[in-house]
Amino acid sequence: MSYVNFLALILILIGALNWGLVGFFQYNVVEAFLGKTMAANIVYCLVGLAGVWGLGFLTKCKALCCCSSSEKKMDKSDKGGCCRK
């Protein structure tokens, strides 16, 4: 996994956890640490960009698309994650 992909994944997780806390407990971690500042807005922008970048993960993960049937097995020899019958 490349550094950019890893960073995007971390930011996506931070955003998801933050939204979960906002939804369940009305507690915003980003604003708790940074307040309503430009720095908080930058964090939100970075999380949003990471989410857009993360859409590319879906095209790379063929297992999500082609291995929906229980009769198919993952072909471990293929690094793209393709399935075989």
How far is residue 29's CA from residue 13's CA, in Å, rounded to a whole number? Answer: 13
How far is residue 29's CA from residue 21's CA, in Å, rounded to a whole number? Answer: 8
Supply the pTM of this predicted model: 0.66
Point out which residues pair with 73 in neighbouring strands: 84
Task: Compute CA 69 distance to the chain's CA centroid, rounded to the nearest angstrom.
Answer: 24
Looking up tokens 């996994």, which residue turns up?
1
pLDDT of 1 above 80: no
pLDDT digits (tens, 9 = 90+) for 58-70: 777 665 556 555 5
* Mean per-residue pLDDT of the chain: 81
Pair of tokens at residue 46:
């970075």
- pLDDT of 29: 93
**Burial class for 50, CB neighbours closer than 10 Å (0-12, 13-18, 19+):** buried
